[in-house]
Structure 1
Amino acid sequence: MRLLHTADWHLGRLFHNLSLLDDQRYVLDQLIDIIDREAVDAVLIAGDIYDRSVPPASAVALLDDVLRALCSERNLPVVMISGNHDSAQRLGFGARHLRQAGLHILSDLADIERPVTLSANGVEVDVFGIPYADPEYVRSQLGVDVRDFDSAHRHLVECINTKRHPTRPTVLMSHCFVDGGSASDSERPLTLGGAESVAWEPMQSFDYVALGHLHGPQCRGGEHIRYSGSLLKYSFSEASQRKGVTLVDIDEQGVRHIEHRPLTPRLDVRILEGELDSLIAQGLGDPHADDYLLVRLTDRHAILDPMGKLREVYPNVLHLEKPGMLESRGRQQLDRERLRFSALDMFSDFFAQTSGEAMTDEQAEAMNELISQLNRDEETR
């Protein structure tokens, strides 16, 4: 049996206020092509189907198109779990009726002990799903005393372990932050304070663990415990990541082969760095000038409308940084510190810059008296 593991579609995502729906449709067409070309028997989607709990109608329509192509036109079973960006209740609407069509939506903790049994080419595989659930929700729904993400996740895995078939290969799907995983800027924190990670050790005994939440393809604790990564680069911190899907071959004895298959975006996400004139000259011959760009200008002098000039050759510059100017200002600040201005001199300079005129003698005298009084108060403390 060949499974395709994917996650973190984030349908309806905005990137610097720019809709990515056309980009998502472009790579989802590639995903369907991979399914056809590689004779995939079932699809696993490990959460964050949508980018927000109430997705736009266009995102819902795109998901409907993809699921129709998979379940109705190709008769492929699809198993999906809800992620922290999804509304579990909204995503799970009609789940009991949709099972007959081959769409299995696992978004209710009450169903975690009930596997989806996939069958293809004489092989049967049980798939269990743990939708995203914070400790408070697990505690209230299941009546167990769990206080953090790790203890909640361990409890859910233990519940599943008691229901595993003794001989049938078992796949676990979970939307979580596995300890030691490499995160990026576009992933919404699961909680404040950093206590959101879960251990990989309780999942070690499963034949394959299809994870969602982290956007970079990676493994934790073994090749069979892995994140497929997101469909697209959703932040500039992901610019170097190779996006794609994971193919998993499994038989009666367990996993036989795991392979990452890349997806090619309609427009890439890149970071360019250099002086303005050099970047403009480079852009004139850049075959991928329409990519989504973050530009870091190294010029150390002021430039009039650098964004406008860059967009003449790179129309999709979405963010501009000026580290060269910051370095220049830093040196100016050091020079000012070397002058060892008195407090009155520094205030006089500030007054002149903000008001546009120099302080009068009376104002200077009043400020000098105030500074002297503050100094005396400081010395007596």
Structure 2
Amino acid sequence: MKLAILSDFHFGYPRFYEDSFNQAADAMRIACERADALLIPGDIFDSRTPPLDVIERAIKIFSIPQGRGWKVRIVGNEGTAPVVVIHGTHERRSRDFKNPVHILEAAGLAVDAHRAPVVLTLNGERIAVHGLGGVPEYLAKAAIDKRNYKPLKDAFNIFMFHQSLRELLPDEEALS
């Protein structure tokens, strides 16, 4: 199974506003032609609460993969184009609030791997995508520990995250 990884579109970023949409649309079209499934690990938007025109344009871009006759299936979400996403640090909101990536999922344009693993299947091959959306850096280790990620049996497992892991790295003294 061929996977395409597209990341950091930053839709709505003022300096490269138009460019972000143009490049994302081109990348999405090329990925749809060459890959069996798409992984998008965050920072799709440049803001936690993007303006409606930015959301509208993102929806148009995320509609590109729809109706292409994909052979890959998403277990539990059959009929959905194989576009697996997580939110990045730019879309991160507190637990009680929806983030803009949830809109893409609610519209049936993507499946969010932050909440639970997403299993892709093709000709007997299984890929499990486990996701950790952006969290504050000081909470990264606790979030990983709390989720207690375990590989799914009989699947190739991928951990998709959009996160600095400074808290998990050894300090400079430990490396000396």
**Structure 2 length-normalised TM:** 0.74
Return closer, same or farther for 1:133/1:31 CA change in 2, 3 Å cut-off. Answer: same
1:124 corresponds to 2:126: yes
**Shift in Å at residue 73 of structure 1?**
4.4
Letter in 2 for 1:5: I
Q: Structure 1: state its 5+ residue gaps.
A: 136-147, 179-196, 202-381
Q: Residue deviations 1:65-108, cap 9 Å, x none?
A: 1111113445531111111211451322474x55xx4620245x
Q: Which protein has greater RCO, CA pairs closer than 8 Å, 6+ apart?
A: 2
Number of the residue aligned with 1:21: 17
**Shift in Å at residue 198 of structure 1?**
4.0
**Shift in Å at residue 165 of structure 1?**
1.7
**Shift in Å at residue 156 of structure 1?**
4.3
1:56 to 45, 51, 59: 51
What SS class does the counterpart of residue 27 from structure 2 fall into? helix
**Cα distance in 2 for residues equivalent to 1:32 and 1:84:** 21
What SS class does the counterpart of residue 160 from structure 1 fall into? coil
User: 1:1-381 to 2 correspondence within 5 Å?
Assistant: 1-15=1-15, 20-38=16-34, 40-73=35-68, 75=70, 76-88=81-93, 89-91=98-100, 92-93=102-103, 95=105, 97-98=106-107, 101=108, 103-107=110-114, 111=115, 114-134=116-136, 148-156=138-146, 159-161=148-150, 164-178=151-165, 197-199=166-168
Q: Which has the higher helix share?
A: 1
Return closer, same or farther for 1:130/1:122 CA change in 2, 3 Å cut-off. Answer: same
Number of the residue aligned with 2:75: none
**Shift in Å at residue 45 of structure 1?**
0.8
**Cα distance in 1 for residues equivalent to 2:55 and 2:99:** 11
**Cα distance in 2 for residues equivalent to 1:130 and 1:24:** 24
Return closer, same or farther for 1:152/1:29 CA change in 2, 3 Å cut-off. Answer: same
Residues 81 and 105 in structure 1, CA contact (< 8 A), matched pair in contact too:
yes
Residues 6 and 27 in structure 2, CA contact (< 8 A), matched pair in contact too:
no
Regions of 4+ moved over 6 Å: none
Q: Structure 2: state its 5+ residue gaps.
A: 71-80, 171-176
Considering only CA atoms, is the larger Rg found in Structure 1 or Structure 2? 1
Letter in 2 for 1:134: P
Number of the residue aligned with 1:280: none
**Shift in Å at residue 167 of structure 1?**
2.8
